[in-house]
Homo-oligomer: A and B are copies of this chain.
Amino acid sequence: MFALAEYRQRLNSLKKRMVDEGVDVLLVSNPSNMYYLSNYSAWSFYVHQMMIITLEDDQPLWIGRQMDALGVSKTTWLDDQHIISYPDYYVQSKERHPVDFVTNILTEIGQSNRVIGVEMDVHYFTGLCYERLRAGLPNATIKDTSSIVNMVRLIKSDQEIDYMRKAAKIVESAMHAAYDSIAVGTRECDVAAAIYYAQIKGTPEYGGDYTSIVPMLPTNENTSCPHLTWTDRKYEIGDFVTLELAGAYKRYHAPMARTMAVGQAPSRVKDLALVVEEGIETTLDAIKPGIRAEEVEQVWRNTIAKYGHHKNSRLGYSVGLSFPPDWGEHTISLRPGDKSVLQPNMTFHLMPGIWYEDYGVEITETILITEKGVETLTKFPRSLYEKMDHPFVDKYSS
């Protein structure tokens, strides 16, 4: 857990934003935001749970399932008066909905006719949640504040950066495990198992946490589909693989991708990897506090355009703490139109993946904006990996 002072500071920053946006009451459904405000990290978000933040109260109020209330009490800084649970018959019921329970509480504590901020576009706040909220609070004014907590999270504290450094060490170790295990005759699932083992074991000094996105390691023509996971097919000589992984420490993430080949990579993959590497170098050179998100993308775009390449998707996004299904923070995207100004202690997944019809290359980094420029938190040599020295290579290429 972070120091109580840090939680108080987070809550105060949030309240300032609430005042700015004219919101009296905030409903938080995003597990990442709940964790950020309270330290609650149990895998209970598959049932409805919510936090209520009011300007008056100096703690968030947690509402969730009965069997989870004790976990909140044991693992967060909230006192027991701020932990309210609904009975189990609210779970996945056709007759009762947990949000009805929440609106009753809001009415009881005199908040039913206020301006209520809602995370309208986060997973976990469903269409039915919204409908029940409207029905239960006819006198409230409801505002979409989907990213209000996320915006507070943008600039990390030193302890958060420390967590991300630990996460970076873990993803380095997981990428090593992938490199060590990829070989002719090994199955994709065996490599994925080795990755998971490294991710969760962590280091001798600290353990790893699960990552919010699973390892993704598509092969050959499937490298054009970055979100495929793995199969139990065996690697063959000449295969190439994009590996997009993360390390996680206490829910803080450091994602990183590399591209590897079993034996020699096809020349178009090698060529594209060189372009991506140059693009990253040039882009990193340009990043410093004060630059805008879209300007960063522009540098990258211009660099790869020299070689006739183009990337259709954003160049990256802010990262930090997260829960499934995403490790992005849903705030700043490095893409045209995003005029956000980069500031020290912001962290991004610089994601210069390029995907064409039948192949793709991914070499990515987690970066920290520093006072003077940028630091790459992930420290794993940037290059295309070819396992030329693997004993099986000789056998197949002879």
Shortest beta-carbon distance, A325 to chain B, in Å? 4
CA distance A120 to B230 in the complex (A): 31
Asked if A210 is at the interface of the complex by the 8 Å CB criterion, the answer is: yes
Taking the complex as formed, is A83 at the interface, i.e. its CB lies under 8 A from any CB of chain B? no
**A71 at the A/B interface (Cβ < 8 Å)?**
yes
A305 interface hit (Cβ, 8 Å): no
A103 in contact (CB, < 8 A): no
A206 contacts chain B at the CB level, 8 A cutoff: yes
Instruction: Report whether A89 and B130 are in contact in the complex, using a CB–CB cutoff of 8 Å.
Output: no
Query: Given that A118-B127, A333-B92 are known contacts, is A210 also in contact with B193, CB under 8 Å in the complex?
Result: no
Q: Is A71 touching B228 in the complex (CB atoms < 8 A)?
A: yes
Interface string of A328-352 (1 = CB under 8 A from B): 1010010111000000000000000
- Chain B residue numbers with a CB within 8 Å of A179 are none
Measured between beta carbons, the chain B residues less than 8 angstroms from A144 are 128
Binds B, one of A196-204, A260-268, A280-288, A382-390: A196-204
Q: Which residues of B contact A67 (CB under 8 A)?
A: 225-227, 312-313, 355
Is A232 on the interface with B (CB-CB < 8 A)? yes
- Does A201 lie within 8 Å of B189, measured CB to CB? yes
Indicate whether A106 reaches chain B with its CB closer than 8 angstroms: no
A118 to B221, CA, bound (A): 35
Please, how many residues of chain A have a CB less than 8 angstroms from a CB on the other chain?
84
Q: Is the CB of B131 within 8 A of A120?
A: yes
Which residues from chain B contact A232 at a C-beta distance below 8 Å? Answer: 202, 206-207
**What is the minimal beta-carbon distance from A72 to any residue of chain B, in angstroms?**
9
Cβ of A375 within 8 Å of any chain B Cβ, yes or no, is no
Which residues of chain A from 121 to 148 have a CB within 8 Å of any chain B CB?
Answer: 121-131, 133, 144, 146
| A207 vs B146: C-alpha distance when bound (angstroms) | 39
Q: Is A200 a contact partner of B192 (Cβ separation < 8 A)?
A: yes
The complex places the Cα of A198 from the Cα of B325 at a distance, in Å, of 23
Contact B201 A43 (CB under 8 A): no
For A55, list chain B residues within 8 Å (CB). Answer: none
Q: List 8 A-B contacts (CB under 8 A).
A: A41-B228, A42-B227, A68-B225, A125-B126, A190-B201, A193-B198, A193-B199, A206-B232
- The interface of chain A, by Cβ under 8 A from chain B, is 41-46, 66-68, 70-71, 74-75, 87-89, 91-92, 95, 97, 118, 120-131, 133, 144, 146, 187-190, 192-194, 196-202, 206-210, 213-214, 216, 221-222, 224-232, 312-314, 317, 324-326, 328, 330, 333, 335-337, 355, 357
Inter-chain pairs besides A121-B129, A130-B130, 8 sampled, C-beta below 8 Å: A41-B228, A43-B216, A43-B227, A67-B313, A71-B227, A92-B317, A126-B127, A193-B201
